[in-house]
Structure 1
Amino acid sequence: MNQTTLGYAYVLAAATQWGMIGPFARLAFDQGLTPLEVAFWRAAVGGVLFSLHALVIGQYRVQCRDMPIFALFGLVCVGVFYGSYQKTVDLGGASMAAVLLYTAPAWVALLAWLFLKEQLGWMKLLALAMTLVGVFGVSLGPDGLAALRQGAWNLKALGFGLLSGFTYALYYLFGKKFLGRYTAATLMVYALPIGALALFPWVDFQPKGLTAWAALGVLGLVTTYGAFLAYCAGLRRLEATRASVVATFEPVVAASVAFVWWDERMGALGLLGAALIIGAVLVMVRIGSGNGQP
């Protein structure tokens, strides 16, 4: 197997692992755990694994002056992000959570225009418009236009889903503006424990059986740490643009597994909305590759 093919395989493996976040979270919910407890354990288990990883490779030192930024990064990009994502899974399903997470590139374009003075050209505006229309379609759920006529939108799930996309987008802004000199592994060493500590006061811990612990273990080991290793291995063999395209397989995995395990359905308009959101991501990837006009 050549290196390019291996790179695609690694990124596909990462996308598959990320796509399992929602399904395994739902499995934990079925065992009586709350969304915030699931978010806490995902951050805590991931934090332990990344700490061991950083100690082994010697990438754990940071400058004291950067610790407040690390604290804010962990609070927002782990605590709020992980919590809002799990709330979306709980209220709207794994499919909706995975799709709305992919509003992040649109948020990045908007925030970079506002705060980093990056251009917002016609292709980015097209991607933003596609994202907005896509979010509208996804928000209607499986009932489609009937939900619109009845005013039965799942607004809580939509709100938490957009919040997860927004806080995920902040990874880019924090990394570019403040933390670009650190590796992703070093960021996670501090961000995950800080995020777990931020979630801790809000968690109502429940007794857990073997199935619950197994689901939490998968979320920490596979969907957090394992996906990170696979994606980094892919990036060493592929251009970032190609890796970004392959990573859009994530919501496909989430929707497919959710359909098989729980018969989750998005409906025709929901699927169309999901396609528009993923299409908007691909437009943003094209801009980033330099093949399109910004």
Structure 2
Amino acid sequence: MAVQENSFKPYSEVITGSIIYGTIGVFLDRVQDMSVGSILFCRLFFGLCMIFFYLLMSGSLKQLRPGRNRKYLLLLGFLNAITGICYFSAIRYSGISVAVLLLYTAPVYVNLLAPSILGERSSSKSLLPLFLSVAGVLLISRPGEVLVSLSTGSDFMKGLLFGLLSGLSFGITIITIRYLRHDYTGISQTFWLTGISLLFMLPSALSTPIPVYFRNLGTLLLFGLTITLAAILYLKGISGIRAQTGSILALLEPVSGIFFDTAVLRNPLYISTFLGCVLILTAAYLVSQARDAEEVPEDSLPSSLA
């Protein structure tokens, strides 16, 4: 698809989608008495239904026909499930501000691993984003609190570990998506990874009592439809702008997440978290700038696709 640099519509779609993604923490805060796995199952289920309905209405169901490298779709679904569990767990243990920033270390993992896995050219400039990301993570983790939590096993420490794992698993997800970009469209990959992730989440869903689902049904339905709408908007918009531009605009997601965390959920924003935010987003920006201008837009998939 041709790049539509002369139209503001794709930019507004990417911006809107990225901002909507920042509401995830608000929805998780509203859901009561449900495990992370069961929440993720409902989010994926409603999302899958919405994607199918969107493709049906647009006459694009043929995109869902499995092509080559089907086994990697299974890997994609597994990675998406791991990313979602770790990300949602990080939000519950340490808050959206910390979780979303640790998730955004994914571009650095991609920059480090892509040359050896995908055969892409490496750059000596990758050391600077790596250094900035590590420094950002150290600031966010608040080393003094971590040292105390090592002996007490605090929730904050668990949140840090889940957040780092979510960043790593999402980085590998991006690499897998890039590997499949010539065989499947972005929305086709979204459909299949969502459907396959549902299977991995099924045990958690079955272990949750039905009355609990009914108590949270309104929130879960709105959660699934809202975040899937964000994904569709993002994928539509990203196909009309350059990959690097999409990557930079996607940085609105963690900023949006931090805003909702402090403004709506009233969680405190530490100066160390703010400084870590600046360092990690700078690293993500540098990585996106270093990418080839010829890269396909799917490289800029949003972090909260899970």
TM-score normalised by L of structure 1? 0.87
The secondary structure found in structure 1 opposite 2:64 is coil
**1:158 partner letter:** L
CA–CA distance in structure 2, aligned partners of residues 94 and 211 of structure 1 = 24
| CA distance in structure 1 between the partners assigned to 2:260 and 2:71 by the alignment | 39
Shift of 1:249: 0.8
Q: 2:8 aligns with which of 2, 5, 8?
A: 5
For the residue of structure 2 that corresponds to 1:135, the secondary structure is: helix
Partner of 1:106: 108
Distance in 2 separating the partners of 1:288 and 1:127: 13
Deviation at 1:43, TM superposition (A): 1.2
Alignment of 1:1-294 (within 5 A): 4-28=7-31, 31-55=32-56, 56-58=59-61, 59-63=63-67, 66-77=69-80, 79-140=81-142, 146-148=144-146, 150-151=148-149, 154-203=156-205, 204-206=207-209, 207-208=211-212, 212-223=216-227, 225-288=228-291
In structure 2, give the amino acid aligned to 1:189. F
Q: Deviations over 1:2-36 (max 9, x none)?
A: 953333221110111111112211221xx222212
For 1:113 and 1:137, locate their aligned partners in 2 and report how far apart those are by CA, in whole Å: 28
- The answer as to whether partners of 1:14 and 1:227 remain within 8 angstroms in 2 is yes
One-letter amino acid matched to 2:256: V
Residue 135 of structure 1, CA deviation: 0.9
- Secondary structure of the corresponding residue to residue 264 of structure 2: helix
Contact 1:54–1:189 under 8 Å retained in 2: no
Identical aligned residues as a percent = 25
Alpha-carbon contact 1:138-1:269 (below 8 Å) kept: yes
Q: What is the distance in 1 between the residues matched to 2:115 and 2:134?
A: 17
Tell me which stretches of 4 or more aligned residues in structure 1 moved more than 6 Å: none
User: What letter is aligned with 1:248?
Assistant: L
Q: Secondary structure of the equivalent of 1:265? A: coil
TM-score (norm 2): 0.83
Is the CA contact 2:262–2:269 (under 8 Å) kept in the aligned structure 1?
Answer: no
Q: Distance in 2 between matches of 1:289 and 1:35?
A: 37
1:190 Cα deviation from its structure 2 partner: 1.8
* Alignment length (residue pairs): 280
With 154-163 and 130-139 compared, the bigger mean Cα shift is at 154-163
Q: Judge which range, 229-238 or 88-97, deviates more.
A: 229-238
Alpha-carbon distance in 1 for matches of 2:122, 2:226: 36
Equivalent residue letter for 1:242: T
Deviations 1:176-211 (A, max 9, x none): 224532111211222112101101213441434777
SS of 2:184's partner is coil
Structure 1: gaps spanning 5 or more residues: none
> Which residue identity is paired with 1:191?
L
Q: Secondary structure at the match of 1:4?
A: coil
The alpha-carbon deviation at position 96 of structure 1 amounts to 1.3
145-154 or 42-51, which deviates more:
145-154
What do the CA deviations read for 1:221-249 (whole angstroms, capped 9, x no partner)? 111x2112211332244222122211101
Distance 2:6 2:215 in 1: 38
